[in-house]
Structure 1
Amino acid sequence: MDPQPFPPRSPAVLRRTFEVAFWIVATLLNGIANSLTVMIEVRRAGLDYAAWKPVLWEFSSGLVFLALVPALLWFTRRFPFHLDTWRRQLPWHALASVVFSVLHVVGMVAIRKAVYATQGETYEFSPWLREFVYEYLKDWRSYVSMVATIEAYRFIRRRLQGEARLLDRADDEPAPAPGQAERPERFLVRKLGREFLVAADDIDWLQAAGNYVNLNVRGREYPLRSTMAGIEAQLDPDRFARVHRSYIINLDRLEQIEPLESGDARLQLRDGTRLPCSRSYRDALRSRLVPA
């Protein structure tokens, strides 16, 4: 079976490696620090606990948190917690923190019970309601901390790589005719306090990213606050084509279409980038490229 045709771009791969490594290292360091702290507290209290137990308690919790990171990343893209959205998103995040805590508690208790059983012991977590309330009082702080870390990282990334927006129409520029979409010729990109223009025709491909659409231009990525449907309606249909629910390509950059057994296709652009093409868009793309 052919692998899923997602674009193997070096900057994206490096970024993803850094992001995965960050969460793994943070979990490891936090687990070690917390384990040592609990061990010291146990010794001070004169309690007779085997050394492996505090390590299990902390790392079972940390591993479940780590497993929940992908879901948290998806959720924060769907419900971004920004200065202009926090009132609307707060109820969703309050609910999500409860679900987050339930999954965390169930996961870590399952791990602890399994490990205790291998040692011929039983791990007790009761009464459930009281213990869950106790865990939730800790978990909501972990939830807030993880969401804050994710949003801060995305904010810094947008500032470092630049953030695009549509240029406002000049006062003397005629408005589009009724029923005709307003098609931008250029985008304004702000990066580290400087502004420059990107021509729409220079865009190689676009990718959906939550409340943003990433404009990929000559190997650089600029997020634009928009939906895929919104930006698709504003791009020149003779030059740009939707090929996937998350991708739009500049037809002038397309070099090759590789059909897949699944009915989908893999697209290769002139710069070597490979993108997926859904079967629902493949026939329409072919008809655009082959003259009648």
Structure 2
Amino acid sequence: MEITLIKKAGIRQKNKKMNIVIKFLRKWAKLIDRVYMLLIIARLRLFLKNKPRFSLSHVRVLGYNIFLNDPRSFYFEFIHIFKNEIYGFHSEKERPYIIDGGGFIGASCLYFKKKYPKANILVFEPDNNALFILRKNIEANKLDNVTVVEMGLFDKEGEISFLPDNTDGGKIDTGGMHKIKVTRLSNYINSEIDFLKLNIEGAELNVFEDLDQNDKFKYIRGLCIEYHSFKRQKQNLDKILSILTKNNFRYYISNFENSPKGNFKSDENTQFYLLVYAKNIAV
């Protein structure tokens, strides 16, 4: 009996030491990953800094061949998506189903495929200039199971005015000179969605109201939307959050900036963006 207890104590001591070693190695692995990413960003910045804005360029990074149409906007997009992992989510599935609303040139799609190589991704993008590069990036990197819908997301079917800006900030606007096709996201959701990402430049509430009216939130496990508060436009974040609460989602709001707008000095000319993360607690 005494020998057995001594053996068990020895095993526990070994396990404790092993756990300490594992924790130490994990910390070092994370540190190495951070340093590696900082080196990549420094290299990327050096490569892109002399590239003229709104010019077609190409860069090889993280094993990807990436075509881009604006070096400056891609640089910040890369930091947000690949370094800060603003679209990071956890799934036990080998093939999670992801909807990417506002795919632009495909940076978010490339990130999802880096994280889940066998993921099925449905991408919506209405801007013809972005679509050309999006398809090049999908083909150049041989991405499987990626479907592109050449339409924007709204609360109706048809055409609507669009104001492109040659970055990821093109938006639906009554003063826009271009016309794009739009569709309802509810038409595409009839089974479980592991992650919904929306960066649709101000059409968030329109899409949310469509999903709510058609009882589609029950299929969505988790989501991240970029909320846009544009100059001289009425804010509607409260309505978006109310829809999430109504549909059994717990949400978290994050700011892109290191510090928020201070002392409540914001006025109608202040423009800002927020990330809203939410998880369906009913599934």
Choose 1 or 2 for highest CA Rg. 1
- Larger RCO (CA under 8 A, 6+ residues apart): 1
- Structure with greater proportional strand content: 2
Is the shorter-chain TM-score for this pair beyond 0.5, marking a shared fold?
no
- Structure with greater proportional helix content: 1
Bucket of the pairwise TM-score, normalised by the shorter protein: under 0.3
